């Protein structure tokens, strides 16, 4: 699949500043045709701004945007062949659901004259075009199961129904790209899970290249073909959900994905590994001996082990299927969270001494600048 062909999206070196605040610092992303990309990052990192630049609602200070092989950096939103779903739905409150769904079609298929009330009857061919629009609206409504709501106004709908209408307004047309800005953030947890799957199914059916902004990592991991992790106006990593989780390139990416957060333990690089307190780990990182490194360890990689690091239990969270153990590592001073089977947490209580080991081959080593360090060989020790 060529990057610029078909309905792919290319974002190249996009920069944006509001006054003195640099919101986007040179963002580049390439979406393959039909790809579903999740754009995640903490609040305020510039996700919405980037999406609005792709939509043409905001102008970039530098860089370019190519949609479907056409450079649209200077094009108006209406000329970009995109459909956008807004975080607060942005439905027209005075129009019925059917009319809301028809707007994108009417704006493109009918002339200004034909859109006037009454006058449109005088334009030849108008009735046929209107019937075609109504038919398309009906199809989209059926697909989203909102056909019974067509005569209502947005004010008479529940949040979930409004959200469907907003999706429908994007779906009636077949645009080159869908842009969705946290479309599920106003829904309750159950509805969110259901709609998540529906959006994925719709995407599969329509095959339209999609950028999906969210700060919910579960959405990003479960829905997307690839995930772009953005922070402070930069895309730090772009990869499949597996890649960004298992193989993060930066401690900030590792910290953002995964709940509870990855443990960050202070280590020192040595000649033949990394030392963590009294423990010498054969993680031969590409760092000068003696320099400080951070060892990243996912909570699920940690277990109770008789020869492990000495820790003191701070508190336990019983979650039903598992127990989260929050502990304090004594040397070096650090907090540790472990995701344990319920049985392993039994009998522990606050203040108890406990020894924690890990699958050290799953450890990630980061340099002082937060960048991931390559390891020379796989590690294997029993702790």
Partner 1 sequence: MPEALALSAPRRATAVLGEASAAWFLVAPAGIALFLLLLGPSAALLALSFSDWELGAPTLAWIGFENYAELATDPVFRAALSNTLVYVRVVMPASIGLGLGVALLIESGTRLRAFFRAVYFLPVVSLLVAMATAWQYLLHPTIGPVNKLLAMVGIAPVNWLGSSDWVMVSLCMIGVWENLGFVVVLFLAGLTAIPADLYAAAETDGARSGLDRFRLVTWPLLGPTTLFVVTITAIRCLRVFDTVAALTRGGPNNASEVLLHMMYREGFSYFRIGYSAAITVVFLVIVLALMLVQTRLLDRQVHYG
Ligand X SMILES: Nc1ncnc2c1ncn2[C@@H]1O[C@H](COP(=O)(O)OP(=O)(O)OP(=O)(O)O)[C@@H](O)[C@H]1O
Answer with the entry of partner 1, ligand X, Mg ion, none that 18 interacts with (C-beta below 5 to 8 A by kind).
ligand X
Is the Cβ of residue 106 or residue 305 nearer to partner 1 in the bound state? Answer: 106
Answer with the entry of Mg ion, partner 1, ligand X, none that 380 interacts with (C-beta below 5 to 8 A by kind).
none
The only residue of 8, 14, 35, 47 in contact with ligand X, by rule CB under 6 A: 47
Answer with the entry of partner 1, Mg ion, ligand X, none that 49 interacts with (C-beta below 5 to 8 A by kind).
ligand X
Is the Cβ of residue 52 or residue 162 nearer to Mg ion in the bound state? Answer: 52
Answer with the entry of partner 1, Mg ion, ligand X, none that 215 interacts with (C-beta below 5 to 8 A by kind).
ligand X
Asked if 362 touches partner 1 (CB under 8 A), the answer is no
Answer with the entry of ligand X, Mg ion, partner 1, none that 158 interacts with (C-beta below 5 to 8 A by kind).
none
Binding footprint of ligand X, residue count (CB under 6 A): 12
Asked if 215 touches ligand X (CB under 6 A), the answer is yes
Answer with the entry of ligand X, Mg ion, partner 1, none that 278 interacts with (C-beta below 5 to 8 A by kind).
none
Strand-strand pairing, 36-40 and 226-231: parallel
In angstroms, what is the minimal distance from the CB of 180 to ligand X? Answer: 12
For residues 98-137, which are near partner 1 according to CB under 8 A?
103-104, 107-108, 112, 115
For residues 44-103, which are near partner 1 according to CB under 8 A?
52, 55-57, 76-80, 82-84, 86, 88, 90-95, 103
Is the Cβ of residue 48 or residue 323 nearer to Mg ion in the bound state? Answer: 48
Question: By the criterion CB under 5 A, which residues form the site for Mg ion?
Answer: 48
Binding site for ligand X (CB under 6 A): 18, 21, 23, 41, 43-49, 215
Binding site for partner 1 (CB under 8 A): 52, 55-57, 76-80, 82-84, 86, 88, 90-95, 103-104, 107-108, 112, 115, 153-156, 169
């Amino acid at each position: 699949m060529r990057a610029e062909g078909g309905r792919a999206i290319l974002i190249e070196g996009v920069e944006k500043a509001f006054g003195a605040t640099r919101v986007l610092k040179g963002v580049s992303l390439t979406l393959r045709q039909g790809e579903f990309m999740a754009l995640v990052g903490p609040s305020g990192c510039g996700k919405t701004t980037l999406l609005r630049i792709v939509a043409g609602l905001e102008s970039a200070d530098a860089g370019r945007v190519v949609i479907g092989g056409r450079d649209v950096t200077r094009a108006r939103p209406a000329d970009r062949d995109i459909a956008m779903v807004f975080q607060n739905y942005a439905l027209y409150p005075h129009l019925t659901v059917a009319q809301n769904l028809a707007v994108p079609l009417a704006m493109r298929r009918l002339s200004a004259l034909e859109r006037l009330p009454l006058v449109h009857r005088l334009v030849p061919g108008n009735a046929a075009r209107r019937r075609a629009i109504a038919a398309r609206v009906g199809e989209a409504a059926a697909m989203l199961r909102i056909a019974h709501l067509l005569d209502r106004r947005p004010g008479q709908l529940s949040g979930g129904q409004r959200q469907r209408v907003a999706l429908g307004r994007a779906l009636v047309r077949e645009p080159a790209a869908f842009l969705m800005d946290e479309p599920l953030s106003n829904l309750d947890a159950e509805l969110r899970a259901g709609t998540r799957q529906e959006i994925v199914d719709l995407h599969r059916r329509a095959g339209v290249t999609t950028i999906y902004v969210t700060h919910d990592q579960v959405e990003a991991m479960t829905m997307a073909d690839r995930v772009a992790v953005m922070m402070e106006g930069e895309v730090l990593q772009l990869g499949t959900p597996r890649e960004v989780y298992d193989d993060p390139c930066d401690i900030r990416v590792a910290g953002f994905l995964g709940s509870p957060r990855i443990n960050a333990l202070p280590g020192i690089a040595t000649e033949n590994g990394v030392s963590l307190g009294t423990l010498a780990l054969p993680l031969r990182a590409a760092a000068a001996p003696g320099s400080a490194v951070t060892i990243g360890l996912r909570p699920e990689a940690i277990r109770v082990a008789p020869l492990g690091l000495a820790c003191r239990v701070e508190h336990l969270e019983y979650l039903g299927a598992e127990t989260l153990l929050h502990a304090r590592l004594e040397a070096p001073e650090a907090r540790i969270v472990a995701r344990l089977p319920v049985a392993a947490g039994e009998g522990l209580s606050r203040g108890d001494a406990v020894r924690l080991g890990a699958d050290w081959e799953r450890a990630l080593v980061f340099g002082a600048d937060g960048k991931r360090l390559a390891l020379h060989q796989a590690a294997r020790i029993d702790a």
